[in-house]
Structures are given as structure tokens and as C-alpha cells.
Amino acid sequence: MNQSFEYSPAPESRAIVNLATSYGLFIDGKFAQGQDGAPFKTIDPATEEVLAEVWGAGPKDVNRAVTAARKAYNQTWRKTSGRERGKYLYRIARIIQERSRELAVLESLDNGKPIRESRDVDIPLVAAHFFYHAGWADKLDYVGLGSSPSAYGVAAQVIPWNFPLLMLAWKVAPALAAGNTVVLKPAETTPLSALWFAEICQQAELPNGVVNIITGDGATGAALVSHPDVDKVAFTGSTEVGRQIAISIAGTKKSLTLELGGKAANIVFDDAPIDQAVEGIVNGIFFNQGHVCCAGSRLLVQESIADAVIDSLKRRLSTLRLGDPLDKNTDIGAINSAPQLAKIVELAKSGELDGANKWQAPCQIPEKGYWFAPTVFTNVTQSHRIAREEIFGPVLSTLTFRTPSEAVEKANNTPFGLSAGIWTEKGSRILQIASQLKAGVIWANTFNRFDPASPFGGFKESGYGREGGRQGMLGYLRPRGK
């Protein structure tokens, strides 16, 4: 059987996104040119076309943003009742729903992710996060810290480029619900949706200074988290940067939560429903081009079914469509940036040099932009770099195991501990293995599911603190008088 399906292009129109040529910073409720620092360009990674110029905030800009957040905390937000804070968040959730199509296109343009994902996953979850946390704002007595817990004050938040607006929602929604004001720095390569969010705050008539958005690179982020008037730091990104932040704020009163890297094991037992497991493996590592900290990047498959699973996986991967992120039929979009692509290429090369067998899905790579075909390594051992380091790309490393205890041992053999997957028909085994895996989120017979009601976060070097659920609120509150 050799059928090839051809689809006509089905691009989502980008006309809905009205881009200006340049953007300033959003401080104290207003967009304005930065005072120090320098402008930089943000590009569409699928075409390398410049989308807009944004401002790389300097130390003065950072200071202005923190000052605005402090003033808003003292003069406005602290005095706003939980019920009223919640109503602002409900408004924001509704505006996000109203503008969801525009936001989805913008996100795919700036990030490179398929419109199918930004439209069906990212943006609906963004709205859901605001809607969920809105309801917490007037129920803080019930989060588990005793009556009348206090906000920290000014929260400095630094987020990554893989889910730009969703990561913003994970940070901003609980912070505001708890009564903090926010200075948020989006990732250098994906600043646009955060600036759109600033405009949504204006539409919602959120008081000035409650949310401030400053764009920039790592230097801007470092200046923000080390600003002396910041009370709370929340970071999502690499373990290395998380480490630097923890070092830089040591000895201060700042409270810190970190959501860092991962190297998740996706464990497939011999009694697993193979077709479903293969879909789960694909979703686990090729969702969002593998730019997912909780990606199932290490496939641990029981030896007796390894060949069948790998064959089925390769067959499935051969049907994935790589290309224009705005095409509704696209499964695999663009790699977010040239440096990220270089890192993926380098690690994939190390896999070959270490002796693993590389297989790539046969797909046409567009001439412009940053792309990497879905890649599967077999014959991988635990000492290989591709089994130990976070690749953050569409690269799956496959290892095998014979017994459940060997699977657990291999799964836990990493400094990370963010997520894991288990595929088996046996319920008692799921609960047993789940209790032995050192991972903060475990998907059994599914993978990469997210929900604002579900706490997300890691063990060990994947960071500390949770985002989502009641547990997520604890990161933005302290007991009264503490």
C-alpha cells in the first residue's frame, strides 16, 4: 500500500494581525519608548522575515517598571478587594476569548508553532487560566495558609519562548489573583503576544502599573530579578539560568519559584495499547516541535515490543506534515530560533557520534526559516548525551528495558524530575510505577495534558513550586504576618 495524500494549502489569514513597525515598553499602563537599552528585531522563524522592532529594556527601564508596580501595589491593588481583582481577571479571560483567533495567528507568527496548536491548545488554555484564577481572588482564605494570607508585593516574572502567552498566563493570573503586581519579561525571541496582552490589560481597564511588560534579553531579565524592590521572583526556563537566579537573590527576602528543564521518560509496557501509545509518544515529543520542558524525550519501551513500537512510530512520523505554521494541516512548525536550531543540530550530531542510530522522518524542509525533521534515535544508552541533556527539539531517544524495576531505575536516572509517561493496561501497575517515579507530573495512558486546575512543576533540578491548582496559589501568598 503506497498511498500518498496531498492536501491543498489551507493557510490561516495573517491579515487579522495588525503589526506596527516598532513597539515600546508597557509601563504604568502606557506604551512608551525605552529610556536606555536598545531596540532589537523579532522575526518569524518560519520565514526569517522581520515582524517588528521591540525595545530591549535597560536598567533604567527596569527600574521604572518596578517603581510603577510598587506604586500600583501600594496605592491601588493592595486596596482592591479580592472580588474586584477577580472581576478584572474575568474580563481579561473574556477579552482573550474574543480575540483568540488574532492571538493564535500572532503566536504562530512569532513562535513558529502550528496554528492548530496555538488555536486549539495555547490560546484556549490562556483564557482558561485567567478564568480559573479569577475565581481564587476572593477565596484566598481557602488556599491553605490560614485566614487572610498576604500577597508578596511586586512579582518579577521571566518566561520562555516555547508557549509565550500561555507561560504569561501561568505567571500573571495567579500573581494578580493573590494580589501582587507584576513586571513580566517575555522571551527575547517571542515578545509580541505579551505586548498584545498589555493592550488587553488596557481594554480591561486594569489599573495602571498592576501589569508591566518589559521586553529584552537575558540582561534585562537579570536586572529585573535582582532589582532590590522586587518581593517575589518566578522563572520558567533553563536549569542553568534558574541556578544563576537562585544564586543572585541569595540572602534577600525574595521568594523564588522555578520551573526548569526536563528529560522525561515515556515508559511503554508490553501490555500497552500500541496504537494509542504511539500517538502518545508522538504527542509527547513532537508537540510544539519538542520545545516543551515536560516533553517525553526519552522513550523507554519494553524489549519484547520495542521493534513493533519503533516500526509503528516511524510509520506514523512519516505522515506528519512539516511546514508553514499558519497552514491548518501543519503538524510540525518551525524551530523558534537559529541558536536553538544550532543546539538541536549539535546534540543530534552527538547522538550519531556516540553510536546511536538516527532516523529522520522523510519530509521536505522549506528553504527559508529554521526547521528540523522529526528524529528518532535507537540503540541509545544512558551515557549518551541525547539521553541525559535536554534537547528541547523534535528528537526522541529510545531505550529499552526488561522489568518494571529497570524501567523505574532508568526513568529516575537523571537530575531532572519534571514529568513522565506510563503506558499499560494494568491499573495497579500505573499506580505503583507512578509512586516510584521522581517526577512532578505523570501522564498515564496520555501525555502533555495541561489544565489550570492541575498543579504543574518539578522535583529535583526541574525546579520548585507549582503552577496551577490550589497548590499554585501558594507560590504567590504568605501566611498573614509572615
| Residue ranges in contact with other proteins by CB under 8 A | 128, 144-146, 239, 242-243, 246-247, 250-251, 258, 260, 415, 430, 434-435, 439-446, 449, 451, 453-457, 459-464, 466, 469-471, 474, 479
Distance between the two ends of the chain, CA-based, in angstroms? 69
**Checking DSSP bridges between strand 154-158 and strand 232-236, what pairing results, if any?**
parallel
Catalytic residues: 259, 293
φ and ψ at 334, to 5 degrees?
A: -90, 150
Residue 108, CB half-sphere, CA atoms under 13 Å: how many?
30
Tell me if 372 sits within 8 A of 340, measured CB to CB: no
User: CA–CA separation, 313 vs 317, rounded Å?
Assistant: 6
Cβ-based nearer residue to other proteins, 17 or 422: 422
Which helix (H) or strand (E) element contains residue 90? helix 82-98
Q: Nearest-5° angle of CA 463, CA 468, CA 473?
A: 90
Rg (CA), the chain: 22
Tell me if 416 sits within 8 A of 390, measured CB to CB: yes
- Report the C-alpha dihedral over residues 451, 201, 134, 76, rounded to 10 degrees: 140
Rounded least distance, CB 113 to other proteins, Å: 21
Closest to 399 (Cα-Cα) out of 416, 386, 390: 386
**Checking DSSP bridges between strand 265-268 and strand 298-302, what pairing results, if any?**
parallel
Cβ-based nearer residue to other proteins, 56 or 242: 242
Report which DSSP code applies to 364: P
Helix (H, G, I), strand (E, B) or coil at 376: strand
Provide the residue type at 438 as one letter.
Answer: K
User: CA–CA separation, 28 vs 210, rounded Å?
Assistant: 7
User: CA–CA separation, 461 vs 260, rounded Å?
Assistant: 7
Which helix (H) or strand (E) element contains residue 433? helix 427-436
Total Cβ atoms within 10 A of residue 81: 11
